[in-house]
Amino acid sequence: MVGATTPYVPGKTKREKMLVFGLPRIDDDEIEEVEQTLRSGWLGTGPKVHRFENLFREYTGAAHAMALNSCTAALHLAMVSAGVKAGDEVITTPMTFCATANAVIHAGAKPVFVDVDRTTMNIDPERVERAVTPKTRAILPVHFAGRPCDMDAILDIARRRGLLVVEDAAHCIEGVYRGRKVGAIGDVTCFSFYVTKNITTAEGGMATTRREDLADKIKMYGLHGMSRDAWKRYSDSGYVQYDVVFPGFKYNMTDLQASLGIHQMARIDRWWLRRQEVWRRYDEAFADLPVIRPAPPEPDTRHARHLYTLLVDNKEAKISRDDFQRELFERRIGTGIHFKSLHLHEYYRNAFDHHRGDFPNAEYISDRTISLPLSAAMSEEDVQDVIDAVREALLHGNR
């Protein structure tokens, strides 16, 4: 295996084919299940969605699991179902994808950003406490890259202040925090099965909760506000009349999507072990490079190993993050930027009067972060190509 002391020849690591960032792993079982679903004639929300929900509920230990068409839908329904409304505030992190804040905005409330811890990249509970006002209705922590947030501190604030806790666990399906599975900690937890996630239904999401009242609303509001879902209306047990009790949304998952998910769930921990091995190889190979590697997981937690992020500082590495990304692209290695801090984007900057300097830790990460390929679909050759390309780009790349 090529290691940290192996000589590198500039240009040697260029692949013939692009290594796609977030490459999904789809096996024959998923393909056969999708074909069977197509032949069955039941393509919409039906028995396979219910099976997927049960598998996910059992995996997380949550009392209720509701499959939806995206994590964005789950976040929005969590807000609406909990009564978040115009004039309310929801405290969250700027170091996240725009869907986190947009779900708050679509509920009519205001996202209130607070800075993150520079090492964990997760929301800082001390700053959360200072941001609470009489208008605060909820806290929305994001388990960044698969690292569980400091949930004990966040839950303590929520209990003392009477606030809802909605977790954005788009990165953290396999996460465990102090013996508790992510998905069975806060009031509502929202997951993503987008194509780049640890398991995928191409598009899709899940909301989990221990609260029956919220589960009933999320399920109902996610399908037009109807009192019966499509499967119950048209199943073999006979047509069931429904009533519309809320002007809901079209957020339901389909059996086609669930056909992928039910087989991916069977491999979730095996694939996590594979990503853990890739993570270990990266850590060892990059130990001597002028970059900041991800911090180790906190004690008594399990990191979901969703994103392997390097921080590339121009002064230390003698190359900017953007130039480093271009160097990798030239070597046909796909990468991601997770994330440009939300308060630096035009909309949030203008809508909420944010400026550079408001959240220095998030900005530090935003300016330097780059995510490397990390997927159970990667071969040993793929992993080695990433390692070689990173080392070559940092040690021999054009400046």
Is 14 annotated as catalytic?
no
Nearest CA to 344 out of 328, 361, 357, 334 is that of 357
Measured distance CA(38)–CA(268) in Å, rounded: 25
**Other C-beta atoms within 10 Å of 399: how many?**
10
Residue with the two structure tokens 């609470």: 132
Whether 109 contacts 233, CB under 8 Å: no
Measured distance CA(112)–CA(187) in Å, rounded: 19
Return the HEC string of 126-165. Answer: HHHHHHCCCCEEEEECECHHHCCCCHHHHHHHHHHHCCEE
CA angle 166, 148, 279 (to 5 degrees): 140
Measured distance CA(194)–CA(70) in Å, rounded: 7
Order of strands, edge to edge, in the sheet holding 176-177?
180-181, 176-177, 301-302
Measured distance CA(208)–CA(185) in Å, rounded: 10
Nearest CA to 167 out of 194, 138, 204, 141 is that of 141
Is residue 298 packed enough to be buried (19+ CB in 10 Å), middle (13-18) or exposed (0-12)? middle
* Secondary structure element (H or E) that encloses residue 338, with its range: none
Please state, in angstroms and as integers, the Cα–Cα distance from residue 56 to each residue in 90, 212, 234, following that order.
27, 17, 24
* Secondary structure element (H or E) that encloses residue 306, with its range: none
Catalytic residue among 110, 181, 197, 217: 197
Angle between helices 255-266 and 47-60 (to 10 degrees): 30
Which residues are catalytically annotated?
Answer: 197
